[in-house]
Chain A
Amino acid sequence: MASQETLREEPSRGSLINDPKIRGLFFQTLVIILLFGSIWWIVNNVIDNLTRLHIASGFQFLRGRAGFDISDTPIAYTSDSTYGRALVVGLLNTIIVAAAGIVTATIIGFIVGIGRLSQNWLIRKICMVYVEIFRNIPPLLVIFFWYSGVLAVLPPPRESIHLPFGSFLNQRGFYITRAVWGEGSWLIAVAFVVALAMAWFVARRARQRQMATGQQFPVFWTSVALIVGLPVLAFLLAGMPLTFDFPKQSTFNLTGGFQLKPEFLSLFMALSCYTAAFIAEIVRAGIRGVSKGQTEAAGALGLRSGPILRLVVVPQAMRIVIPPLTSQYLNLTKNSSLAIAIGYPDLTATAGTVLNQTGQAVEGVLIMMIAYLVLSLVTSAVMNVVNARMALVER
C-alpha cells in the first residue's frame, strides 16, 4: 500500500507557494476567516448598538404575555398566550394558506396546462387567456383584486346570500355548516385509514397481476368503493354520531358553523390563480418535451387518448415538470407574506405585531428569516424526494 501511495504522489515542485494543494487550502481558510469575521463583526456591532441605544435585546420576550388577539387561530390562542405562541400561530397560518394554495394551484395549473394543448379551439384559447392574464399581473394586485374587487362587493351580513347545504356568503366571508362528531366517531376515522391501506394493497396486487398475467383489474372503482363504503358502514354501525352546527344570524354577524374569512379566501384564491398560471406553462412545457413518437407509438398499440396521456405522456412529462414546480411552490410560500396588505395573520403579519409591541426588531426579523428559510428548505427536500422517485430508473 505504502509503495503505491508514494508512486501516486505528485512530484515536488520545490516551493510551497507553487503547491496547488497548499494554495487551495490557504485560499479556503482565508475565505472562511473572512466569512466568520464579518458575521462576528455584524453580531458584535448589533449588540453594541442595541446597548448604546438602551434597547432591550435577547429572546426572553418570547415568553412574555402577548396581550393581543389574532383573528385566525388554528391552535388554541388567547391574549393571555405568549409571544412565542403568537409566532407559532402566524407560522401555522402561513403553512395552511401555502399548503392549500399549493394544492389548488397544482390542480388548476395541470388542468389549464393540459387545456392549452387541447384539440378544442375554445378550451385552448380560454386557457391561454387565463395564463396570459395571471402571469402578467403582480401577485399583490391579484390579492387586492380578490379582496377589494370581488369579496368587498358581497352583501353585508344581514343580507347574506343563501347557498345550498346551509352555507352563506357575505362580506365577512363564507360560512359553511360545521359537522360536530359525537361519541364513537373514532370508528369512522379508523375505517377510513383501513380503507386507505386496503386500497393501496389492492392497487399493488393489481399491478403485480397485470405484470404477471396481463389482466387488468378495476383499481379505481374498487378504491372508491372501499374509501367511501367502509367509513359509511362504520358511521352506520356507530349509530350515526353526527350533528350539524348551522350558521345562524345574530346581532352583528352569523354565528356558529365554520367561517372562512375573506382575508384567507382572497389570499388563497390570489396565490392559487397566480401560481397556477406558471404551473400551467411548466406542465405544457413538460408535455411538449415528451417526444411525439411516444404518443404515436402508444396510439399504434391501440391505446385511446385518455390512457395515452395518463400512462405514457404524463409520467414522462413529470420528470421535466417537477424541478421547476419546486420553485413555484417556494414562490407561492414566500408570496404568502403579501398577506400583510389585507390583514391575514400570517407569519410576517404576526411577527410584525410582536416586533412592534416588544420593540425588538432585530430578533423579530431574524425569526422571520429563519422560519421562511426552514419552510423553503423543507419544501425543497420533500420535492427532491418526489423527484427522485419520479426520475428515470436506469437498469
Chain B
Amino acid sequence: MRFVNGRQRIVNDAGPGVGPNGSCIHKRKKIRAAWEAGGACKAEKGLWVMKHIAIGIFGAAALGLMASAASATTLDTVKQKGFIQCGVSTGLAGFSAPNDKGEWQGLDADFCRAVAAAVFGDGSKVKFTPLSAKERFTALQSGEVDLLSRNTTWTINRDTALGLNFVGATYYDGQGFMINAKKLPGVNSALQLSGAAVCVQSGTTTELNLADYFKKNKMEYNPVVFEKLEEVNAAYDAGRCDVYTTDQSGLYGIRLTLASPADHVVLPEIISKEPLGPAVRQGDDQWYHIVKWTYFALLNAEEAGITQANVDEMKTSTDPNVQRILGTEPDSKFGTDLGVSNDWVVNIVKAVGNYGEMFERNVGSGSPLKIARGINALWTKGGLQYAPPIR
C-alpha cells in the first residue's frame, strides 16, 4: 500500500508539471525560431521524462512488493477513498487533455466522470493520472489507477495475457497517415510513402500496424520512434519525419496543435481497426460491470432521447423503457443490483450528458476537431454503437 501512495505522490508532482508542460509547448510555438525557447522548456521536459521513467520502474517494483493477500473489491476501495483514480493520456485533444484551466477534457476524461457519477452521484469525484503508452498497463495492473480510459485499442492480447478486461469500444477508430502537403506535393495516397521517415509512438498497436502495412505493400520506411506523444508531435513538426501515423481521430487532434495546421493533410487510407475503449483489471466482476454498464447507459440514454437538458423532465415519463433506464419504475433494482444507486443513469446523464452529447462536445461538431459521427453513430442511425437493453 505504501508503494501505491508513493506513486500517487509522484503523479501529483507531475500534475502541476503537466500545466507547465502544456504551456511549454505553447511557448515553443511563439518563439519557434529561437532555440532558446527549446532550452527554456527542456528543463521541465527533462524532469518530466525522468519522472515518467521512474513511474514505469516503480510499477514493476510495486508488482513485486505489494501485499499478496486478497484485497477489498475495487468498488469498496473507491468508495472508501471517495474518488476514482482514472488513467488518461498525457494530452490528446478531444480524448483527454487538460484545458487552459488545468481541467481534463475529452471523451475519455468524460467517461471517467460518468463512472464517478454512477458510483458517487457526482461526476467531479475523479482524479486523473496522465500515463504514457508505455506506462498505462502497468499502472492499471498494479492498482495505481482504478480505470484506464486512455484511447486504448482493445486487442485479444491485452484482454488475456495482460490481465485486463475491456468494457467496450467508446470510439471506433482506424489508423491513418498525415503528411505535410506543402513539403510533399503530389503525395495523395499512403501507397506512395515508400522510403519515408515515419513518426510513431512506441509500445502502441499503431507501431505494429505500421510494420505490417509497409511489409504487406512491399514498401520500405524509416521508423522514428518516441515514447511520448509530445515528443512525436515535436519531431513531426520539426520535420524529423515525413509522415505521422496514429489513429485517425488522433491525427485530427494533433493537426490542430501544429504550427500551421492547414499545411497538413490526412491521407485517405485507413489501415487497421482500432476499437478504443476503457479497461479494468481482471478478477473483479462487480467493478467490470459498473464500468461496462456506465458505457451502455450512455448509449441507452441517447437511444431513448434522454439528454442533459431534459433528464429531470424525463423522470416523469410514462414510457416504460425510459422509466427502467432512469430507475423511476416502482421497485426498480437495476442500480442496486449493479452495486450503485437506482438513479445512477440520471446521475450519469446529469454529469456528462448522453453518448451523443459527449461525442459532439469533445470531438464532434461542438469541438475544434469537427469529426463526423460516422461509424460511431447509434446502430439505429447506421453506426456501430449498440448497447444491450437495461431491463
**A28 within 8 A of partner (CB):** no
In the complex formed, the residue of A with least CB distance to B228 is A341
Residues in chain A within 8 A of chain B (CB atoms)? 42, 45-46, 48-50, 52-56, 67-71, 78-80, 138, 140-141, 144-145, 148-149, 152-153, 156, 158, 171-172, 250-253, 255, 262-263, 340-343, 345, 349, 352-353, 355-359, 361-362, 364-365
**B50 within 8 A of partner (CB):** yes
Can you report 26 residue pairs joining A to B where beta carbons are below 8 Å apart?
Answer: A45-B64, A46-B64, A52-B68, A53-B283, A56-B160, A56-B163, A67-B208, A68-B211, A69-B223, A70-B225, A71-B223, A140-B49, A145-B42, A153-B35, A156-B183, A251-B196, A263-B224, A341-B46, A342-B226, A343-B226, A343-B231, A345-B225, A349-B202, A362-B63, A362-B64, A364-B60
Chain B residue numbers with a CB within 8 Å of A46 are 63-64
A152 adjacent to B65 (CB under 8 Å):
no
Q: Report Cα–Cα, A144/B36, bound state, in Å.
A: 11
**B138 within 8 A of partner (CB):** yes
Chain A residue numbers with a CB within 8 Å of B61 are 365
CB distance from B207 to the nearest CB of A (A): 5
**B240 within 8 A of partner (CB):** yes
Q: Report Cα–Cα, A359/B133, bound state, in Å.
A: 11
A53 adjacent to B158 (CB under 8 Å):
no
B212 adjacent to A79 (CB under 8 Å):
yes
Chain B residue numbers with a CB within 8 Å of A78 are 215
CB distance from B199 to the nearest CB of A (A): 9
In the complex, the number of residue pairs spanning A and B with C-beta atoms less than 8 Å apart equals 174
Chain B residue numbers with a CB within 8 Å of A263 are 224
B231 adjacent to A49 (CB under 8 Å):
no
In the complex formed, the residue of A with least CB distance to B61 is A365
B63 adjacent to A352 (CB under 8 Å):
no
B134 adjacent to A356 (CB under 8 Å):
yes
Chain A residue numbers with a CB within 8 Å of B183 are 156, 158
B46 adjacent to A138 (CB under 8 Å):
yes
Among A69, A140, A172, the residue within 8 A (CB) of B50 is: A140
B64 adjacent to A148 (CB under 8 Å):
no
Chain B residue numbers with a CB within 8 Å of A172 are 197, 240
Chain B residue numbers with a CB within 8 Å of A50 are 63
**B144 within 8 A of partner (CB):** no
Q: Report Cα–Cα, A17/B60, bound state, in Å.
A: 44
Among A149, A153, A352, the residue within 8 A (CB) of B134 is: A352
Please report which residues of chain B, range 152-206, place their CB below 8 angstroms from some CB of chain A when the two chains form the complex: 157-158, 160-163, 183-184, 187, 192-197, 202-203
Q: Which of B51-59, B316-324, B337-345 contacts A (4 or more CB under 8 A)?
A: B51-59
Residues in chain B within 8 A of chain A (CB atoms)? 35, 38-39, 42-43, 45-46, 49-50, 53, 56-57, 59-61, 63-66, 68, 70, 133-134, 137-138, 141, 157-158, 160-163, 183-184, 187, 192-197, 202-203, 207-208, 210-212, 215, 221-227, 231, 234-235, 238-240, 242, 281-283
Q: Report Cα–Cα, A78/B215, bound state, in Å.
A: 10
A262-B240, A343-B224 given as contacts; is B195 within 8 A of A359 (CB)?
no
B238 adjacent to A171 (CB under 8 Å):
yes
Chain A residue numbers with a CB within 8 Å of B138 are 361
Chain A residue numbers with a CB within 8 Å of B160 are 56
Chain A residue numbers with a CB within 8 Å of B207 are 68-69, 353, 357
Q: Report Cα–Cα, A357/B158, bound state, in Å.
A: 9
A54-B283, A357-B203 given as contacts; is B60 within 8 A of A69 (CB)?
no
Q: A49-B63, A253-B196 are in contact. List 18 more A-B contacts (CB 8 A).
A: A55-B162, A56-B160, A71-B222, A71-B223, A141-B43, A144-B45, A149-B35, A156-B183, A252-B197, A253-B195, A262-B240, A340-B49, A343-B202, A343-B235, A352-B227, A353-B207, A357-B207, A362-B60
Chain B residue numbers with a CB within 8 Å of A253 are 195-197, 222, 242
Chain B residue numbers with a CB within 8 Å of A141 are 42-43, 46
The 10 closest A-B pairs by CB, nearest first: A356-B203, A359-B162, A79-B211, A56-B161, A55-B163, A54-B163, A48-B68, A361-B60, A365-B60, A140-B46
A79 adjacent to B215 (CB under 8 Å):
yes
Chain B residue numbers with a CB within 8 Å of A345 are 225
B134 adjacent to A45 (CB under 8 Å):
no
CB distance from A199 to the nearest CB of B (A): 41
Q: Report Cα–Cα, A144/B70, bound state, in Å.
A: 45
Chain A residue numbers with a CB within 8 Å of B231 are 341-343
B203 adjacent to A353 (CB under 8 Å):
yes
Chain B residue numbers with a CB within 8 Å of A152 are 35, 38, 238, 240
B64 adjacent to A42 (CB under 8 Å):
yes
Q: Report Cα–Cα, A149/B210, bound state, in Å.
A: 29
Among B39, B203, B212, B282, the residue within 8 A (CB) of A352 is: B203
Among A48, A70, A252, the residue within 8 A (CB) of B242 is: A252
B161 adjacent to A53 (CB under 8 Å):
no
A55 adjacent to B197 (CB under 8 Å):
no
CB distance from A279 to the nearest CB of B (A): 23
Q: Report Cα–Cα, A36/B231, bound state, in Å.
A: 43
A71 adjacent to B282 (CB under 8 Å):
no
Among A52, A69, A359, the residue within 8 A (CB) of B157 is: A359
Chain A residue numbers with a CB within 8 Å of B283 are 52-54
CB distance from B387 to the nearest CB of A (A): 26
